[in-house]
């Protein structure tokens, strides 16, 4: 083409970008790029812990940006708004998840610091990937468009595939990466197909437009739309590890480097739920009668399968993997209620769960020892005598996961079950409570092993290497335990945070 | 100035936390001084708040200070908040005031104890819990404090847990209190179910709306609360733990089991007075139980040989007076007596502690005597306490007891008569105690010849090492112990000034809390005077009788101390016998059949189911990606099928 021809083409209309709205994303991506570039250009190795510190600082900056955004969206004069041509929504919901996911990044980085040195893998890559993956998660939470959801999901996932396989010398790590990648692509295809079907049925991928269309029109035949629901649910159900799309979870959680598992179980699950809640509970609200039974089914299956299978495991990482499936079931109980209270309950649960699960996998990181291999229950026998504080921290986190009062875990379960009861889902509430009892067995089993198990018990009376507790991991554990207890006693700030973070539907301007 | 209220519980809490973190390092005596300073600070904060309250208009003296919203859950929300009104401030001032003195005393008393700092750790935790109890602006916070003081009581009674009797007494206190707590808890549930709130103050609050409850509901809640109060305040039939609780260190007996914690039940009853007003039958029950307890415990006190046991039964008896006052609507008289009782009973306990300390852990009154000259300060202050509790004018006990008796006369003559007989017995057993301990021939030298042969002998309070040593001459206690004695003696002597007839300072101050529910005395002055005279005669008879038996008579006094009374009419044994016999058999039955087959069976069944189900489900987890993909595909097909069947496309 000649320059003259080019000049005749109308410039593509680019949407105006409000940089402030995407500032948490910019900080995370910017941090990742700076870290990668600086590490590549630096001639000497940076001081110990530099990467982790950098990541934590970046995360803190992102939280600061989120706090500014929170001020803006909760200001009655201004309120929530859309940005980038209606592609993303900035409301309490997006900010809530930005904070949750960023917290997971910071805690994950603290855990990774010593782990990478211990395993001889030290380098900036894991941190960079964690920041980028987290960015994808925040994009999913901010998305106001199905395509943007997909974009965020892929950013999140692809980084995670690499992170899962980061432990080069461990076969299980490689295996988990491949499994995660294959099954993740498989589920992405479902999600994409679901998006296409919903677009076909409603004529838009924008949430505001879809909701407006659904409430303004009665579809003569809604088969297309409902098939779209089903496929979207497959894709998102995979991400949050809901049964029957959970099959990858135990293998991948077990095989991936433990700090990565911690991040995966917290940030990735949170991002998946962000999309699930926004797409179904908020956007497809009109069709709640159609999707609620499915959500019910997924919740019940996740609760039961998660807790039942956790009981028969002997590997602590696998136990925690199944327990995370049953936690997904609990959060689905909140989603199934399809009410503001249900969403607020689910949000509270996710935030509380993030700290509990990162802390728990943090303990597994330390106890696992060199080679990240020692995750059998026997490794925990007598831990209370070798490392009383570590055992105490793990006990608190496990009890919180079991839902013992005065921990955040109790209130999390209380709020979602309360929402289910309010929505008249009595059966679901009952099943949730019963499955909590079954799951409690798992947590108590680990606790009992730590406190009552004799180290010399069993066939292998091997002398175990001492469990080291490096400062970074100690900090992460301390934060996780403190959060769990403080929120368990003084829940109201977090409850208010979750209540104000219920998503709003905004159309493109 | 009212906002200083949060400091009142915060200071003891801070003391508790500091001692928890650094108590061992602080050691003796710094830990004790720190704890004392915290409670004193709390007293000062109480004074500041009190001054602020006085500055307000008389009928608007009710303020809520919310610290934070504690449990938001839908329409139900509980705040951590404090209610500042005349009632709570009166409680705060005497709890912190007496508490500070007893903290100070403990520094001397606990000297040399290996767990010195732990003792003060518990004391500060107790002060915090007690203040939460009286300041809480809703039933749940009150209950929290209630449980807190219960736990502290347990820890402190069994403070010397190496001694079996102390450990057992702690357990007994705990278990008995659980019965009361059950009543309190069910009352809270009932209140919430019927009123939808637990908060005291405000338009929607408990106090404002309790009167509108149906009478049956009000009665139920009131009686259940009374069960709680009877447990905490040692009323029949739940009093059994208090005499045994004397196993704790003496300052604990003074602080928790005489002055403060055991009055919590009386406070609770006064707090919920609009509820009682709506359930007159509950008031009758309370007054009868109170009078019965007062008489019952007074009869037990006359035969006790342990110096602290006398005081313990006396406390139960005096608490009975307070419930009697509540029951006849004389709320102010109840609070008044609670305050004067706190002064003189704390004084008596601390005096007893000083005697025990001076005699190297001797508690049997038959091995005392003649201590007046050797321990002049202790003896002098103890005598003030004696005159106060016996009801000799112008000492404080006279005024408060007289008010209760006058109110009882106005309500029911029989209740009054029981009250007068109790007053006579009180004068008798207290005189007996004073004569045995401070007058008469010294018997402490012959003390330890036959020490082991005595079965009724209470075990020595400290480690037995002291008892083995040759008995040194009793000595006066150090100033940390005598200063609180003197201060308390002044208070016990002059406490009546708080509410003199005709002036009625306390009554005017407390009136806004009770309004027209307060029983107005409708008795001519002449009859009032003659009533006082009748009581006075009874008291004098009591004192003279004790003098005749214990000072003048050369006969052994054993026949005036019947075994039956010493064993508290066998009530305790009967209770133990019942629970040890049929009770245990029933427990065994439920444990074997209901628990073993029913509950355990269900649990084991579920466990088997879970294990079996889990093992089968596990087979789906093959580890092969192709199987996983198939599984997910199958799931997707199921979801699609659900929708397709639903829409009828297929």
Q: Does the CB of A229 have a partner CB in chain B at under 8 Å? A: yes
Instruction: For A221, name the nearest residue in chain B, comparing CA atoms only.
Output: B647
* Contact call for residues B325 and B337 (beta carbons, < 8 A): yes
Number of A/B CB contacts below 8 angstroms equals 105
- How many CB atoms within 10 Å of residue B97? 24
pLDDT at site B498? 84
Answer whether residue A45 shows pLDDT above 80.
Answer: yes
Dist CA B316 CA B298 (whole Å): 8
CA distance B504 to B497: 9
Query: B624 touching A, CB under 8 A?
Result: no
Residue B440, token pair as written in the block: 């008469």
Calpha distance A159→A193 (Å, rounded) = 22
The listed range with the strongest mean pLDDT (B80-89, B522-531, B616-625) is B80-89
* Residues of chain A found within 8 Å of residue B650, distances taken between Cβ atoms: none
Mean pLDDT of A91-110: 95
Give percent above pLDDT 90 in chain B: 30
Q: In this structure, are residues A336 and A296 in contact, taking their beta carbons and an 8 Å threshold?
A: yes
Residue B35 in contact with residue B124, Cβ under 8 Å?
Answer: yes
Q: Which of B68, B628, B634 sits opposite A490 (nearest CB)?
A: B68
d(CA B381, CA B477): 13
The nearest CA of chain A is from the CA of B75 a distance in Å of 12
Query: Is the separation of the CB atoms in B343 and B492 below 8 Å?
Result: yes
Q: H-type helices in A241-377, by residue range? A: 248-255, 258-263, 269-276, 288-311, 316-336, 340-368
Give the pLDDT score at B471.
53
Strands A88-90 and A81-83: antiparallel
Q: Residue A3's CB: how many other CB atoms inside 10 A? A: 7
Token output for A287? 């069709």
d(CA A204, CA B224): 63
Say what the pLDDT of residue B469 is: 45
Q: Does A251 touch chain B (CB under 8 A)?
A: yes
Please give the average per-residue pLDDT across A344-372, as a whole number.
93
Report ipTM (2 d.p.). 0.85
Greater confidence (B587 vs A124) lies with A124
In sequence order, which ranges of B55-115 are alpha helices (DSSP H)?
86-109
**What is the distance in angstroms between the Cα of B122 and the nearest Cα belonging to chain A?**
22
- Average pLDDT (B467-485) is 73
- Is the model's pLDDT at A52 over the cut of 90? yes
**Cβ–Cβ of A223/B647 closer than 8 Å?**
yes
Average pLDDT over residues A26-39: 94
User: Which chain A residues are Cβ-neighbours of B631 within 8 angstroms?
Assistant: 244, 247
Nearest to B512 by CA among B47, B61, B50: B61
In 3D, which of A130, A64, A445 has the Cα closest to residue A266? A130
Average pLDDT, rounded, for chain B: 85
Find out whether the peptide bond into B310 is cis, omega within 30 degrees of 0.
no
CB contact under 8 A, B628 and A247: yes
Token reading at B568: 């508290």
List of chain A residues whose C-beta atoms are within 8 Å of the C-beta of residue B66? none
> Are the beta carbons of B644 and A309 separated by less than 8 Å?
no
| CB-CB neighbors (< 8 A) of B607 in chain A | 441
- Residue A396 pLDDT level (bands cut at 50, 70, 90): very high
CB of A467 closer than 8 Å to CB of A386: yes
Residue B207 confidence (pLDDT) above 50? yes
B578 interfacial to chain A (CB closer than 8 Å) = no
Task: Give the chain B residue nearest A415 (alpha carbons).
Answer: B73
User: A305 touching B, CB under 8 A?
Assistant: yes
| Closest CA in chain A for residue B638 | A230
B625 touches chain A (CB under 8 A): yes
pTM: 0.74
Which of B618, B620, B634 lies closest to A312 in CB terms?
B618
What's the distance, CA B610 to chain centroid?
Answer: 48
Of B615, B625, B635, Cβ closest to residue A244: B635
For residue A495, the chain B residues in CB contact (below 8 A) are: 72
Our CA-based measurement puts residue B166 at a distance from the nearest CA of chain A, in whole angstroms, of 29
Question: A96, A50 in Cβ contact below 8 A?
Answer: no
CB contact under 8 A, A244 and B632: yes
- Best mutation site among A161, A188, A234, A239 for testing chain B: the one with the most B CBs within 10 Å? A234
Find out whether B305 and B243 touch, Cβ atoms under 8 Å: no
Which of the two residues, B439 and A457, has the higher pLDDT score? B439
B629 touches chain A (CB under 8 A): yes
In 3-state terms, what secondary structure has residue A501? coil
If one counts every other C-beta atom within 10 angstroms of the C-beta of residue B175, the result is 13
Within 8 A of A441 by CB-CB distance, chain B residues are 607, 610
Write the residue in A178, A247, A418 that is nearest to B621 by C-beta. A247
Using a CB-CB cut-off of 8 Å, the residues of chain A touching B634 are 244
* CA nearest neighbour of A437 among A310, A315, A318, A316: A310
For B:200-219, CB contacts with A below 8 A are none
Distance from CA of A218 to the nearest CA of B (A): 14
**Contact between B628 and A183 using a beta-carbon 8 Å cutoff:** yes
Interface residue of B68, B74, B605, B636 to substitute, partner A, most A CBs within 10 Å: B636
Q: Is B649 on the interface with A (CB under 8 A)?
A: yes
> Bridge partners of B78?
B71
B503-557 pLDDT tens trace: 777 888 888 888 777 777 777 888 888 888 888 898 899 988 888 888 877 676 6
Domain boundaries, chain A: 15-499
Which residue in chain B is spatially nearest to A295 when comparing CA positions? B639
Nearest to B589 by CA among B389, A86, B581: B581
Nearest to B643 among A230, A245, A307 (CB): A230
Give B313→chain A minimum CA distance, Å: 39
Which residues in chain A touch residue B615, judged by CB atoms under 8 angstroms apart?
Answer: 312
**pLDDT at A116 (0 to 100):** 92
- The 10s digit of each residue's pLDDT in B345-384 is 999 999 999 888 888 788 888 888 788 888 888 899 999 9
Maximum pairwise Cα distance, chain A: 84
């Amino acid at each position: 083409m000649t320059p003259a021809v080019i000049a005749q083409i109308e410039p593509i209309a680019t949407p105006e970008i409000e940089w402030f709205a995407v500032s948490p994303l910019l900080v995370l991506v910017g941090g990742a790029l700076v870290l990668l570039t600086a590490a590549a250009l630096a001639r000497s190795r940076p001081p110990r812990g530099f990467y982790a510190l950098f990541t934590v600082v970046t995360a803190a900056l992102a939280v600061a940006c989120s706090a500014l955004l929170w001020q803006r969206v909760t200001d009655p004069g201004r309120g929530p708004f859309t940005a980038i041509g209606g592609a993303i929504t900035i409301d309490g919901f997006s900010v809530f998840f930005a904070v949750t996911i960023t917290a997971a990044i910071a805690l994950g980085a603290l855990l990774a610091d010593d782990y990478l040195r211990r395993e001889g893998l030290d380098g900036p890559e894991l941190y960079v990937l964690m920041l980028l993956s987290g960015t994808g998660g925040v994009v999913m939470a901010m998305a106001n468009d199905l395509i943007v959801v997909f974009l965020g999901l892929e950013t999140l996932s692809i980084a995670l595939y690499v992170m899962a396989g980061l432990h080069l010398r461990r076969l299980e790590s490689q295996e988990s990466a491949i499994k995660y990648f294959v099954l993740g692509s498989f589920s992405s295809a479902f999600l994409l197909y679901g998006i296409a079907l919903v677009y076909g049925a409603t004529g838009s991928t924008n949430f505001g437009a879809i909701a407006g269309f659904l409430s303004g029109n009665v579809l003569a035949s809604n088969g297309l739309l409902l098939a779209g629901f089903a496929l979207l649910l497959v894709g998102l159900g995979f991400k949050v590890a809901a049964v029957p799309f959970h099959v990858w979870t135990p293998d991948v959680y077990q095989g991936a480097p433990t700090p990565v598992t911690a991040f995966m179980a917290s940030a990735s699950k949170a991002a998946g739920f962000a999309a699930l809640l926004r797409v179904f509970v908020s956007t497809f609200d009109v069709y709640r009668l159609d999707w609620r039974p499915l959500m019910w089914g997924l919740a019940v299956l996740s609760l039961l399968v998660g807790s039942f299978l956790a009981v028969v495991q002997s590997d602590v990482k696998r136990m925690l993997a199944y327990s995370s499936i049953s936690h997904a079931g609990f959060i689905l109980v909140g989603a199934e209620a399809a009410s503001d209270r249900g969403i607020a309950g689910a949000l509270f649960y996710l935030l509380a769960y993030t700290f509990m699960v990162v802390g728990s996998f943090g303990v597994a990181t330390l106890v696992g020892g060199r080679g990240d291999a020692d995750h059998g229950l026997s490794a925990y026998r007598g831990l209370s005598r070798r490392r009383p504080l570590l055992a105490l921290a793990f006990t608190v986190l496990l009890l919180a996961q079991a839902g013992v009062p005065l921990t955040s875990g109790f209130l999390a379960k209380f709020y979602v079950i309360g929402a289910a009861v309010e929505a008249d889902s009595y059966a679901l509430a009952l099943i949730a409570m019963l499955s909590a009892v079954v799951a409690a067995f798992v947590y108590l089993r680990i606790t009992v092993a730590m406190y009552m198990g004799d180290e010399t018990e069993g066939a292998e009376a091997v002398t175990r290497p001492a469990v080291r507790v490096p400062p970074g991991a100690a900090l992460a554990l301390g934060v996780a335990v403190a959060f769990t207890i403080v929120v368990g006693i003084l829940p109201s700030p977090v409850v208010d945070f979750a209540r104000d973070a219920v998503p709003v539907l905004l159309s493109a301007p | 100035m009212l906002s200083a209220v949060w400091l009142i519980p915060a200071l003891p809490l801070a003391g508790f936390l500091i001692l928890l973190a650094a108590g061992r390092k602080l050691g003796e005596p710094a830990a004790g001084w720190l704890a004392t300073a915290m409670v004193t600070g709390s007293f000062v904060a109480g004074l500041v708040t009190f001054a602020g309250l006085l500055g307000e208009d008389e009928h608007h003296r009710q303020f809520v200070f919310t610290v934070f919203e504690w449990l938001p859950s839908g329409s139900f929300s509980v705040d951590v908040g404090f209610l500042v009104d005349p009632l709570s401030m009166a409680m705060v001032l005497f709890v912190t005031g007496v508490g500070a003195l007893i903290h100070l005393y403990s520094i001397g008393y606990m000297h040399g104890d290996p767990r010195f700092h732990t003792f003060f750790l518990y004391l500060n935790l107790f002060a915090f819990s007690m203040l939460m109890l009286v300041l809480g602006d809703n039933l749940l916070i009150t209950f929290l404090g209630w449980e807190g003081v219960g736990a502290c009581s347990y820890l402190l009674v069994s403070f010397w847990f190496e001694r079996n009797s102390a450990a057992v007494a702690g357990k007994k206190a705990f278990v008995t209190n659980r019965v009361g707590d059950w009543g309190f808890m069910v009352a809270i549930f009932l209140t919430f179910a019927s009123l939808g709130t637990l908060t005291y103050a405000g338009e929607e609050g408990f106090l404002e709306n309790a009167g509108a409850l149906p009478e049956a509901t009000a009665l139920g809640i009131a009686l259940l609360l009374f069960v709680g109060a009877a447990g905490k305040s040692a009323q029949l039939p739940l009093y059994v733990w208090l005499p045994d609780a004397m196993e704790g260190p003496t300052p604990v007996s003074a602080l928790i089991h005489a002055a403060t914690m055991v009055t919590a039940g009386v406070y609770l009853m006064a707090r919920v007075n609009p509820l009682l007003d709506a359930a007159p039958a509950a008031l009758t029950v309370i007054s009868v139980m109170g009078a019965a307890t007062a008489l019952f415990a007074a009869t037990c006190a006359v035969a006790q040989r342990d110096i602290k046991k006398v005081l313990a039964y006396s406390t139960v008896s005096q608490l009975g007076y307070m419930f009697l006052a509540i029951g006849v609507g004389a709320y102010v008289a109840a609070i008044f007596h609670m305050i004067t009782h706190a002064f003189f009973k704390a004084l008596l306990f601390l005096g007893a502690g000083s005697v025990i300390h001076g005699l190297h852990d001797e508690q049997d009154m038959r091995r005392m005597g003649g201590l007046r000259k050797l321990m002049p300060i202790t003896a002098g202050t103890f005598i003030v306490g004696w005159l106060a509790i016996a009801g000799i004018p112008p000492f404080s006990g006279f005024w408060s007891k007289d008010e209760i008796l006058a109110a009882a006369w106005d309500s029911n003559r029989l209740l009054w008569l029981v009250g007068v007989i109790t007053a006579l017995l009180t004068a008798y057993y207290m005189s007996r105690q004073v004569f045995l301990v401070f007058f008469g021939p010294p018997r402490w030298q012959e003390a330890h010849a036959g020490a082991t042969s005595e079965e009724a002998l209470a075990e020595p309070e400290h480690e037995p090492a002291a008892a083995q040593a040759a008995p040194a001459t009793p000595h006066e206690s150090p100033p940390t112990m005598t200063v609180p004695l003197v201060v308390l003696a002044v208070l016990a002597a002059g406490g009546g000034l708080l509410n003199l007839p005709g002036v009625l300072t306390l009554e005017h101050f407390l009136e806004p809390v009770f309004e027209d529910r307060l029983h107005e005395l409708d008795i001519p002055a002449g009859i009032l005077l003659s009533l006082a005279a009748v009581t006075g005669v009874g008291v004098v008879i009591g004192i003279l009788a004790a003098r005749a038996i214990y000072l003048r008579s050369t006969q052994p006094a054993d026949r005036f101390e019947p075994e039956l009374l010493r064993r508290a009419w066998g009530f305790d044994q009967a209770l133990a016998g019942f629970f040890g016999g049929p009770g245990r058999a029933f427990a065994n039955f439920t444990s074997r059949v209901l628990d073993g087959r029913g509950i355990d069976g269900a649990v084991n069944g579920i466990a088997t189911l879970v294990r079996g189900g889990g093992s089968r489900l596990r087979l789906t987890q093959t580890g092969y990606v192709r199987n996983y993909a198939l599984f997910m595909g199958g799931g997707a097909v199921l979801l699609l099928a659900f929708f397709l069947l639903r829409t009828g496309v297929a």
